[in-house]
Structure 1
Amino acid sequence: MKKCCTLATAFLLVGVFINAQSQQFRLEGEIKDADSLTEATIMIWGNSKFANEPVKIINRKFVFEGTIEHPCLAIINTDKVRGGLGVWLTSDTIKALFYVNKYRLLHALSVEGSEESKDYLTWINSLNEWRQKEPDKIKRYMYIWKGIDDYVTAHPESFLSEFMIRLEIGEDGSVLARSIYDKLSPKIKATETGQGLLKKIENAETNALGKKISAFSLPDINGKLVSIDSTAKTWTILHFWDSWCAPCRVENRDLIGHQKLLKEKGVKLIGISLDETRDTWLKSIEKDKITWLELNKLKPWNENEIIKQFKIYSIPYSILIDENMVIQSIGMNNIIAKIQDL
């Protein structure tokens, strides 16, 4: 699961329920055929208030108790095995049987408790099965979104419905995501989670594959205005980041390792920082050993036109455009794979 930093302004995406009361949960886990595991931790998706304290695994069993703002995904990690696709938590007692798969990931084999928790496991297993057996991307796409549409239609007030849309929206999901989002209940739409999903849909619609971006200009580290337009006649990565965003800094370092590939393929890389202060930005460039072109408006996020133009709701965020400024790929992993095939 890829981590990201969310923007702490009107573009903020926070996994909390507006005016929600904390809900109690209890997760009783058992790990099949794994006697060597001694400690477990839990990571709640989108819930920064949860204290991630480890618990002991005794006779393959462990228990987590705590509060959540609303039903959400929990990833269970252990001292020797990383978490897999997780368990859906509700204000209930969830009993889950886990196993360690061939990739050394901890997956849920079965769950008892709320119907929503059972629905999550059924859906995830169905997705994995279809992705393995159907090589045609279009057919997979239609199958997945048909399943999401059916579930949301039947469960418009479920946070799992919102989560399913959020997890699958990407380069190809913007049109269907909008129509399915409209089926969510007003209650779910009114939450900050629901509002954040809408911003993600708007982002996907704005930056969909095949769309042409508008020209824009930003200052470089010397204050010289640099125009991004179709006159460059080369494929270009636009990499949005910020100094405070840890995953962004990791991606900066990863990009250093891709410099040879980009040079061989004739692809330009432009970093677009969202830092508000010049000193912080320049120190990060130096620390990360960035050598590519860096641009920055040096404005607060809620006043930054570049954020509004691309409807950026989280970072790191990257777009690959061709010589005509048409979007060819989104997300650094997808971009690198696309460039490798050029």
Structure 2
Amino acid sequence: MLINSTLKDGFDAIGTEKIYNTLSSDIKKTPLAESVIKRILEVKRTQVGIDAPDFTQKDANGKPVKLSDFKGKYVLVDFWASWCAPCRRENPNVRVAYDKYKSKGFEILGVSLDKEDARAAWLKAIADDKLTWTQVSDLKGWSNEAAVLYSVKAIPTNFLIDPQGKIIAKDLRGENLQQKLKEIFK
């Protein structure tokens, strides 16, 4: 129960797993322990310092795009949706960052959590918000395979990945995004 109480957003999954591994095998068989290890492993997949899980989704024109296509550049994987007001409010900030750093090796891969019946709204939001970087989606809403892979539970959510493919930051919004990119591209 003590370990479970520490599983708040941003917890250290690698360190918590080490503590979990000290538990007896009888305790590990309990339903609570099983749910704890599931959460630990879920968060560990996208913890800062870990290789970013690769995925492929189709862009707005139906062309498959892989995250690994961006290797060699800093890439912000930005999970959002046309219906998400906080996402839409953050888009101008993301656009400023892209315009400022795209010539220095910065890319953005937008991943939409829109559904198939909202495809037109997704495309309109891309145009209205002037999102000139690559946009992909499988149009499965919250069941988006990349969002599931990255354990996305709320949007906007993003992951900053370095040129070697490692996650170096998460959930950078507003001034935090600008500051991190300024630090990288000084």
Task: Compute the TM-score of the two structures, normalised by the length of structure 2.
Answer: 0.75
Aligned to 2:61: 222
Q: Secondary structure at the match of 1:341?
A: helix
> What is the total number of aligned residue pairs between the two structures?
170
What is the alpha-carbon distance in structure 2 between the residues aligned to residue 216 and residue 174 of structure 1? 22
Aligned to 1:319: 159
Aligned to 1:292: 133
Q: Does 1:248 align with 2:87?
A: yes
What is the alpha-carbon distance in structure 1 between the residues aligned to residue 113 and residue 67 of structure 2? 17
What is the alpha-carbon distance in structure 1 between the residues aligned to residue 172 and residue 133 of structure 2? 16
Contact 1:199 1:311 (8 Å CA) reproduced: no
Q: Give the deviation of 1:219 after TM superposition.
A: 1.0
Q: Give the deviation of 1:267 after TM superposition.
A: 0.7
Contact 1:200 1:313 (8 Å CA) reproduced: no
What is the alpha-carbon distance in structure 1 between the residues aligned to residue 152 and residue 132 of structure 2? 24
Residues 230/263 of structure 1: CA separation in 2 closer, same or farther (3 Å cut): closer
Contact 1:230 1:324 (8 Å CA) reproduced: no
Q: How does 1:202-281 map onto structure 2 within 5 Å? A: 202-229=41-68, 232-263=71-102, 265-276=104-115, 277-281=118-122
What is the alpha-carbon distance in structure 2 between the residues aligned to residue 239 and residue 212 of structure 1? 17
Contact 2:54 2:66 (8 Å CA) reproduced: yes
Q: Give the deviation of 1:165 after TM superposition.
A: 4.5
Contact 2:46 2:53 (8 Å CA) reproduced: no
For 2:164, give the aligned amino acid: N
What is the alpha-carbon distance in structure 2 between the residues aligned to residue 284 and residue 228 of structure 1? 22
For 2:138, give the aligned amino acid: K
Contact 1:212 1:327 (8 Å CA) reproduced: yes
Q: How does 1:1-342 map onto structure 2 within 5 Å? A: 153=2, 162=5, 165-166=7-8, 169-170=9-10, 173-177=12-16, 179=19, 201-229=40-68, 232-263=71-102, 265-276=104-115, 277-302=118-143, 304-333=144-173, 334-342=176-184
Residues 222/232 of structure 1: CA separation in 2 closer, same or farther (3 Å cut): same
What is the alpha-carbon distance in structure 2 between the residues aligned to residue 249 and residue 318 of structure 1? 14
Judging by fraction of residues, say which structure has more helix.
Answer: 2
What is the alpha-carbon distance in structure 2 between the residues aligned to residue 340 and residue 327 of structure 1? 17
Contact 2:45 2:150 (8 Å CA) reproduced: yes
For 1:318, give the aligned amino acid: N
For 1:290, give the aligned amino acid: L
Residues 200/288 of structure 1: CA separation in 2 closer, same or farther (3 Å cut): farther
Percent identity (aligned): 29
Judging by fraction of residues, say which structure has more strand.
Answer: 1
Contact 1:261 1:340 (8 Å CA) reproduced: no
Structure 1 portions without partners, runs of 5+: 1-151, 190-194
Q: Give the deviation of 1:215 after TM superposition.
A: 2.6
Q: Give the deviation of 1:200 after TM superposition.
A: 6.5
What is the alpha-carbon distance in structure 2 between the residues aligned to residue 209 and residue 335 of structure 1? 15
Structure 2 portions without partners, runs of 5+: none
Q: Secondary structure at the match of 1:325?
A: coil
Q: Give the deviation of 1:264 after TM superposition.
A: 5.2
Residues 338/200 of structure 1: CA separation in 2 closer, same or farther (3 Å cut): farther
Contact 1:236 1:270 (8 Å CA) reproduced: yes
Contact 1:271 1:294 (8 Å CA) reproduced: yes
For 2:154, give the aligned amino acid: S
For 1:268, give the aligned amino acid: E
For 2:132, give the aligned amino acid: T
What is the alpha-carbon distance in structure 1 between the residues aligned to residue 39 and residue 155 of structure 2? 12
Residues 233/275 of structure 1: CA separation in 2 closer, same or farther (3 Å cut): same
Task: Let me know the Cα RMSD of the aligned residues.
Answer: 3.1
Q: Give the deviation of 1:337 after TM superposition.
A: 2.8
What is the alpha-carbon distance in structure 2 between the residues aligned to residue 228 and residue 241 of structure 1? 16
